Chains A and B, each alone.
Chain A
Amino acid sequence: MARDMMSAFELYQPDTVEGAVELLARFGEEGWALAGGNDSFDWFKDRIKRPKYVVDLGGIAALKGIRETQDGGVEIGALTTLTEVERSPVIQNRYKVLADAARRVASPQIRNSGTIGGNVCQDARCWYYRYGVNCYRAGGNTCYADTPEGQNREHCLWGADRCVAVSPSDTAPALVALDATMVIVGPGGQREVKAEQFFIGPNIDIERMTVLEDGDVLTAIRLPAEWSGARFYFEKVADRNTWDFPLVNIAAAMKVSGAGGAETVDQIRIVAGAVQCVPRRLTVVEEVVRGQPKTAETATLAGQSAVRGATPLNFNHFKIPLLQNLVTRAIRDA
């Protein structure tokens, strides 16, 4: 199997979003939108995906940068690098959970080229799928991970539907916790989708991870003023501290009233990554915690409620206590 050179493609470098959308719409299934390339080039070098036309979005200035919006929120261009997100003073001061998540992605060099748009649009990391087998997600009729001997320690606890792959992104749970809005431009014009609805599971479309269709470009991510400066928590657990994808990660945003030892959680959004095909919003935890004193007891209860209904596969039972502990810590230490 040739696993070194990418197959040849025609490369286009438009400098406007309109140009990119027009090209991608024209190329349809034979086209490929390229951001930082860290995910794309793996596919190309393994010759598993062989697009005829690649549209490099890196030259579109309008897709870059972090701007404060009139409604008090922040808009991040989809092609803004993860390093820029991590180091942006406005993100650090107002949406620290996202800066923390961006800092934990892969390695410094990957964060220097990898973009926040690419990070949320990256494909599943299931190693059977990545190896190029004809699994459900690749259009076939088998799942190799969910078999008696399938190696599935990195796979899902919820939402299995033929495919058991998980959301691999570190920034996605932070964006759902912040109630972000994704701005998408396609052949039919611009539309906005909440981060929570942006990611889709295999029950909706087994061959896609997001609502993006051929010809669509994610242009920006908007963070609402509502969660600016809230109390945040992010933690990622992976086998290695660099490069690795999360075994489980947790992102929480909460508003707390009171002071000292008598704090109450008024509002909370808490989201776990790598336990389901989409970032899993833990609504049960939110209900358990909302209006409660921010104490170790509440945190313990929150952790217990987080894992209710989890359906482990053969080799990923460890994710249940892991998620439970991460939720407990998020509530206790945020």
Chain B
Amino acid sequence: MADNPNGRNYPEPRFDTFVSKATSRRQFIKGVIFSGAAVTGGGYLLSLGGCAREGAPAGGVERLLTLNVNGQMRPVDVLPHETLAMTLRYKLGLTGTKLGCDRGECGACTVLVDGVAHYSCSTLTHSVRGREITTIEGLEGPNGELHKVQQAMIDELGPQCGFCTPGQIMSAVALLNENPTPTREEARHALSGNLCRCGAYDHYLNAVMRAANGERVSQA
């Protein structure tokens, strides 16, 4: 226990444990993923440490699998109880997908599975084997240009703080893929599974309508 200025004792942080576990795990993952795992930051190490320590019992699904993410085949080692959000963020380094509630109640983690919007926090990675996963990173064009929904978000000042924006954009892309000319009401319905705590809903809807019509929506 370390002494604290205000007289209370707190357990000493056990960085050694996390670092050593995480390091060996990182090396292991690097052997599996050709691109290397973008695992940084104490919180992430903690998460991985938490799931690595327990260790799943043997049997059941094969842990090594290849995921089709943003058009690339990515080999990755996935625990049986791992969610797609965890795999994308902490194994594949695709941190554009946000984790808000981790309970399917906010929409920040929305990704496309075969073109359909899903909460990646509430999807087991093993259940999307062989399916096409698209994250916010996968929307950029061949020369790095923004997707029309992303550009419209900028043009219409869609986001405020921006944390829910990747999820909002993925829901909008899923909508426009199947209905290129939605009404504002249809767009509202399609984005109803994405919370925005800044309350920028109308701005997001402006952006979706602009992406669909190519016309300015907001008043100058």
Contact = CB atoms under 8 A, between A and B. Distances in A.
Interface string B174-205: 00000000000000011011000000000000
A296 interface: no
Contacts of B61: 11-13
Contact of A11 (B80, B104, B105, B122): B80
A110 B104 contact: yes
A9 B54 CA distance: 10
B192 A37 contact: no
A42 B119 CA distance: 13
Given A4-B47, A108-B171, A109-B110, A11 B126 contact: yes
A168 interface: no
Interface string A233-275: 0000000011100000000000000000000000000000000
Nearest to A242: B192
A5 B50 contact: yes
Interface in B94-136: 102-105, 107, 110, 116-119, 121-124, 126-127
Contacts of A5: 47, 50-51, 81
Contact of A52 (B57, B83, B105, B171): B57
A240 to B, nearest CB: 10
A58 B192 contact: no
Contacts of B58: 10
Contacts of B105: 243
Interface string B159-172: 00000000000010
Using C-beta atoms within 8 Å of the partner chain, give the interface range for chain B: 35 or more
Give the most central of B105, B117, B122: most A CB within 10 Å: B122
A334 B51 CA distance: 52
Nearest to A58: B127
A107 B47 contact: no
Nearest to B126: A11
Using C-beta atoms within 8 Å of the partner chain, give the interface range for chain A: 35 or more
A58 to B, nearest CB: 5
A53 B54 CA distance: 15
Nearest to B116: A112
Contact of A8 (B56, B83, B171, B193): B56
A138 to B, nearest CB: 20
A6 interface: yes
Given A5-B47, A8-B57, A56-B127, A110 B80 contact: no
Contacts of A10: 56-60, 80
Contact of A113 (B56, B59, B81, B123): B123
Contacts of A54: 80-81
Contacts of B104: 38, 41-42, 107, 109-110
Interface in A1-46: 2, 4-13, 34, 37-38, 41-42, 44-45
B108 to A, nearest CB: 11
B122 A37 contact: yes
A109 B126 contact: no
Contacts of B119: 109-110, 113
Given A13-B126, A109-B193, A112-B116, 17 more contacts: A4-B50, A6-B83, A8-B51, A8-B54, A9-B57, A11-B61, A12-B61, A13-B127, A34-B124, A52-B57, A58-B127, A106-B193, A107-B107, A107-B192, A108-B192, A109-B104, A242-B192
Interface of A: 2, 4-13, 34, 37-38, 41-42, 44-45, 52-54, 56, 58-59, 83, 106-110, 112-113, 241-243
